[in-house]
Amino acid sequence: MSESCQLAAEDSRVVIAVDLDYFYAQCEEVRDLSIKNKPVVICVFSGRSEDSGAVSTANYIARSLGVKSGIPIRLAKRILREDSTAVFLPMDIEYYRIVSERIMEIIQSKGRKFEQTSIDEAYLDVTTEAGADYERAEMVGRSIKEGILTSEKMACSIGIGKNKLVAKMAVDSHKPNGFTVFSPGKVRSFLDPLPVGKLFGIGPKTEEKLRAMGIALVSELAKANPKTLSDHFGKNLGPTLREIANGEDNSPVVEKPIEQFSRIITLKKDAQTFDFKDVLAPLSSDLSEKLSSSNLNCKSIGIIAITNQLKIKTRSRTIPFPTQSGDEILKIASELFFAFFDEEKSVDGLKIRRAGIRIADLSPITTPKSGTLEDFV
C-alpha cells in the first residue's frame, strides 16, 4: 500500500476515549452525597502507623488546595489542616471495581469495538457506526456521557480523534467533565505549540534529551530529521517519537471480552443475615438477563459481602456446566451465603451492609447445529 493510501485509511478511523473523573474519589461522593462539596482524599494506608501511606487520588476541591496522587497521607493532612470539612477515606477497590464494571457495560453498549485499558478508561472505535463523520461520533460520545451520568450519577471526560493516541490526548486536554473533539484538521494546531513533554508517552528523561538536541516543541519534533532521531533514540523509539508528534498511531482498539459481571445491593439495614431469595433473586435475574443479551454463559458464581466495617469478603464456586440460568445463579449464591454465614458466625458483631453476586469465567454460547432428532434416525 502506498503511503498516501495508508494515511487516508488512518484518517478515516474515529476513536472515542473515555476517562472517569477523579474516579475513586467520585465513587465515594456518589456513595455519600454529603461529602460532595468537601475536599475528599482517598488513602492507601500502609498500616505501619496511623497516618502512614500514600494518597491514591483526590477530588478536584482537594486538588485545588494542593493534594495529588502519590503524596504521603501526612502531607495531605497538613495541607488540609485548616479545613475541618476535609474527608480522608481508605481506598475501597472492590467497590470501585463494581462501579467500573457497570460503567464499562454502558460504554460497551454504545459501539461494537470496545477496549477497556484500566479501571476508569476505555476506548470505543466507532468507525463502523459513524464512518468518518465526526458529528455522528460526537452523538455517540454525548450518549456515553449522558448514560454514565444518568445511571451512575458520575462525570467523565470524553475525547474524540482519528486514533487512540489523538483521542487520549483530547480527553487529557480537558478534565474534569470535558468533551473534546480533535478532528483530523485540528490535531496539528493543538499539538504544535505544546512542549514535547506534554506528549503522551514522553517522560522527563526523553524530554530532557530532546531539549539537549534543540527540540523543545512538538512542531520541532514533528519535523525532526528521522536519522538524527534514530541515532539518538534507536531504530524503534526514534521513528515512534516523530509519529507521536504527528498524532499518528496505528494501534487498533482491541476488543477484549468482558471477564465478569457483578450486581450488588445495599440491605435496608445492616443485618447478621437476610432473606436470600428476597435480596438475591433480583440480582440473579439481572445477571441472567445480562448473560442472555451478551450471548454468554458463566462457569464461576461468587458472592460479595460488604460488612458494616466496610470489609469486603468474597467466596466463589466453579460449576461443572456453564450456565445462563437465573435460578441456578440464585441457588449457588444462596448456598455460598449460607456457608459464609456459617463460617463467619463466630465473628463478634459481624453485620452485612451490602450483598452482591459476581459471575465470571464467561464464554460465548455456541449455537447448536440446526436440525432435529429426526435428521439422525
Which position among 28, 29, 101, 120 is part of the footprint of Ca ion (CB under 5 A)?
A: 120
Degrees to nearest 5, angle at CA 17 with 89 and 64? 40
Look at residue 175 and give the partner it binds from Ca ion, ligand DGT, none, a contact being a CB closer than 5 to 8 Å depending on partner kind. Answer: ligand DGT
Taken in order 269, 274, 278, 284, the sign of the CA dihedral is positive
Chain centre to alpha carbon of residue 364: 23
Which position among 19, 101, 115, 152 is part of the footprint of Ca ion (CB under 5 A)?
A: 19
β-pair partners for 4: none
The answer to whether the CB of 169 falls within 8 A of the CB of 161 is yes
Task: State which residue, 20 or 160, has the beta carbon closest to Ca ion.
Answer: 20
**367 Ramachandran zone, left/alpha/beta (phi>0; psi -120 to 50):** beta
Least Å from the CB of residue 104 to Ca ion: 13
The HSE-up count of residue 361 (CA atoms within 13 Å, CB side) is 13
Look at residue 207 and give the partner it binds from ligand DGT, Ca ion, none, a contact being a CB closer than 5 to 8 Å depending on partner kind. Answer: none
Look at residue 100 and give the partner it binds from ligand DGT, Ca ion, none, a contact being a CB closer than 5 to 8 Å depending on partner kind. Answer: none
Look at residue 125 and give the partner it binds from ligand DGT, Ca ion, none, a contact being a CB closer than 5 to 8 Å depending on partner kind. Answer: none
Catalytic option among 28, 94, 115, 121: 121
β-pair partners for 312: 306
115 binds Ca ion (CB under 5 A): no
Task: State which residue, 60 or 341, has the beta carbon closest to ligand DGT.
Answer: 60
Find the part of the chain contacting Ca ion (CB under 5 A) among 117-125, 245-253, 277-285, 367-375: 117-125
Distance CA 24, CA 359 (A): 23
Chain centre to alpha carbon of residue 311: 23
Distance CA 296, CA 299 (A): 10
The one-character DSSP state at 370 is: S
Least Å from the CB of residue 186 to ligand DGT: 22
Task: State which residue, 120 or 125, has the beta carbon closest to ligand DGT.
Answer: 120
138 binds Ca ion (CB under 5 A): no
Chain contacts with ligand DGT (rule: CB under 6 A) = 19-24, 44, 56-57, 69-70, 120, 175-176
- Name the nearest CA neighbour of 71 among 37, 32, 44: 44
Task: State which residue, 57 or 334, has the beta carbon closest to ligand DGT.
Answer: 57
Q: Residues, the chain, total?
A: 377
Look at residue 176 and give the partner it binds from Ca ion, ligand DGT, none, a contact being a CB closer than 5 to 8 Å depending on partner kind. Answer: ligand DGT
Look at residue 185 and give the partner it binds from Ca ion, ligand DGT, none, a contact being a CB closer than 5 to 8 Å depending on partner kind. Answer: none
Active site residue 121: yes
The answer to whether the CB of 163 falls within 8 A of the CB of 13 is yes
152 binds Ca ion (CB under 5 A): no
Least Å from the CB of residue 156 to Ca ion: 8
Distance CA 120, CA 87 (A): 22
Binding site for Ca ion (CB under 5 A): 19-20, 23, 120-121
Which are the catalytic amino acids? 121
